[in-house]
Structure 1
Amino acid sequence: MSTPTSTSTSEQLAGEVDALARQLRLPHLRKAAADVLPTAKAQRWDPAEVVRVLLDEEAQGRAAATIRNRHHRAGFPAGKTFDSWHEHASTIPTATQQALRGLEWLDRGENLAVVGPSGTGKSHLLEALGHTAIDAGRTVAWFTIEGLGRLVAGHRADDTVTKAINRAIKADLVVIDDIGLLPVPTEAAEALFRVIDAAYERRSIAISSNVHPGGFDELLPATIATAAVDRFMHHAHIVMTEGDSYRFAQARDGKGLTPLT
């Protein structure tokens, strides 16, 4: 009877590790083991070091997967981040931009309103801040004002509006984009108030708008506007954008598309 060689024993152990990792649903450990185990054997690692390295690979893999899932679930519209943000092209003071990117306001549960004309970077800034927040371990939910209205309408029939709003504000940051571009329907106005009221002093809300929150009574029923703005503005930073539309400027300069050949 032949005696198993060291190589065959190692292969058997590697196979058992692979099977156990699959059974225990440790995909990142399983993937790393193919490289780590031969290296550990060749370099005569301490067994505890092997375990540490494999578990660290699993932990890092799960953390990265969580971040990816949070980016996906947030519902961002365009994938815009600070990689494509031109800091010096914005009319927002550089110091203000840096303070916003630091996220201390989010840690304090404060709100943010980015107000200005169309095309001046409001949505880009909020989406970039949202991605930054997720990369820093927070959760984000992105809505348009119309989307909030549909949320309320969709849950009206079975009387689960409150539950839907509470799920929405489980995120550390709730973003509501493009308030003021179009008239705000009654259900959207109600949804906006419900979110602001439910999140008050519990979660941060960031909005982009063509209209300063102080003028929301032009967009919403007066009673709703007063109550919503009162709660939102209590702990809010107001950031103003100015100037011409970036989109219009790019179109004017022929940078909005690839020339036809």
Structure 2
Amino acid sequence: MNTPTAPALPVDLEQLLRRMRLPYLRKAAPDVLATARAQRWDPAEVLRVLITEEVTGRDSATRRMRRRTANFPTGKTFSTWRAEESSISEATQNSLSTLEWISRGENLAVAGPSGTGKSHFVEALAHAAIEQDLRVAWFTLETLTQTISKSKVDASIARTVARICRCDLIVVDDIGMLPAGQDAAEAFYRIVDAAYERRSIAVTSNIHPSGFDTIMPKTLATATVDRLLHHAHLVQTTGESHRLAEALAGKGVTPLKQP
């Protein structure tokens, strides 16, 4: 059975809602008003439902925009995270998942062998942060270096660093996969120093942060790690690569159909 279509809004009301830039309220209004008339809602209830539609719609749009601007690598969330297979203790996973450490401006460093779920776990935390209306920026050390280096051209380094540090959580992924030169070490230091005790930084690395001086200039590495770890949760993952295990088990690809 077809549901009857709610009558359209009067043209003048439609124009007013467009002028007031209330798209979600405008979209919901025909159905809400039809229901209100049929069920004899109190006027205050009508107003509450319509305003709630607008607020909910705007919040959802903001989260979508923040996901796009965060520049996540894969879109992995806790919906695909297998907590029981992680070497990170359940208590640590649960504690970090509350995101209280972000509200306190604390950092997170996750170190361990490649393929042990470091990036997946941190990205899931970052997605959860956006769901709690926080702002996130995601970088690899390479993309962070590129971003800072570009700002040197027009002498806007301070503005670029300030813009990045407006985010509640700044992620630098996969440190240690490649040697880091002076520019990379400088870019990393600038962000860690500017965010120190103000914003949260999460890093993933296949080496312990105390070993960053083996991949970048020692002076900058020492100053960076000193600030990074002062108020930080250090998590170490262990075990074999999940990616390699899946590949060896034939789970990395869709089986080919036999002719």
Q: Same fold (TM over 0.5)?
A: yes
Q: Distance in 2 between matches of 1:257 and 1:197?
A: 42
TM-score, reference length from structure 1: 0.94
Shift of residue 62, structure 1, vs aligned partner = 0.7
- Aligned position for 2:123: 127
Structure 2, unpaired ranges of 5+: 1-5
Work out whether 1:239 is the aligned partner of 2:235.
yes
Residue type of the alignment partner of 2:232: A
Secondary structure at the aligned position of 2:10 is classed as helix
- Looking at secondary structure, tell me which structure has more helix per residue: 1
Letter in 1 for 2:125: L
- Kindly provide the CA deviation profile for residues 66-100 of structure 1, in whole angstroms up to 9, marking residues without a partner as x: 11111111110000000000001000101100101
Alignment-derived partner of residue 80 in structure 1: 76
Question: Which aligned pairs between 1:17-28 and structure 2 lie closer than 5 A?
Answer: 17-28=13-24
Alpha-carbon distance in structure 1 between the residues aligned to 2:14 and 2:99: 41
Counterpart for residue 41 of structure 1: 37
- Structural RMSD (CA): 1.3
Secondary structure of the residue aligned to 2:238 is coil
8 Å CA contact 1:14–1:37 kept in 2: the answer is no
Residue type at the aligned position of 1:23: R
Distance in 1 (CA, whole Å) between partners of 2:221 and 2:36 is 65
Distance 1:89 1:153, change over 3 A: same
SS at match of 1:258: coil
Q: Residue type matched to 1:72 in 2? A: R
1:252 maps to amino acid = L
Indicate yes or no: 2:53 matched with 1:57.
yes
* Cα contact 1:149–1:185 (8 A) shared by 2: no
The corresponding residue for 1:117 is 113
The SS at the match of 1:206 is: strand
Which residue identity does 1:202 align to in structure 2?
R
CA distance in 2, matches of 1:13, 1:229: 60
1:183-221 deviations in Å (ceiling 9; x for gaps) = 112211100000000000000000000111111110111
The more displaced of 44-53 and 230-239 is: 44-53
* Helix, strand or coil at the partner of 2:172: strand
Determine the C-alpha separation between the residues in 1 that align with 2:123 and 2:62: 19
Q: Percent sequence identity over matched residues? A: 56
Q: Distance in 2 between matches of 1:215 and 1:69?
A: 36
Structure with max Cα Rg: 1
1:160 and 1:13 map into 2 onto residues whose CA distance is 49
Gaps of 5+ in 1: 1-9
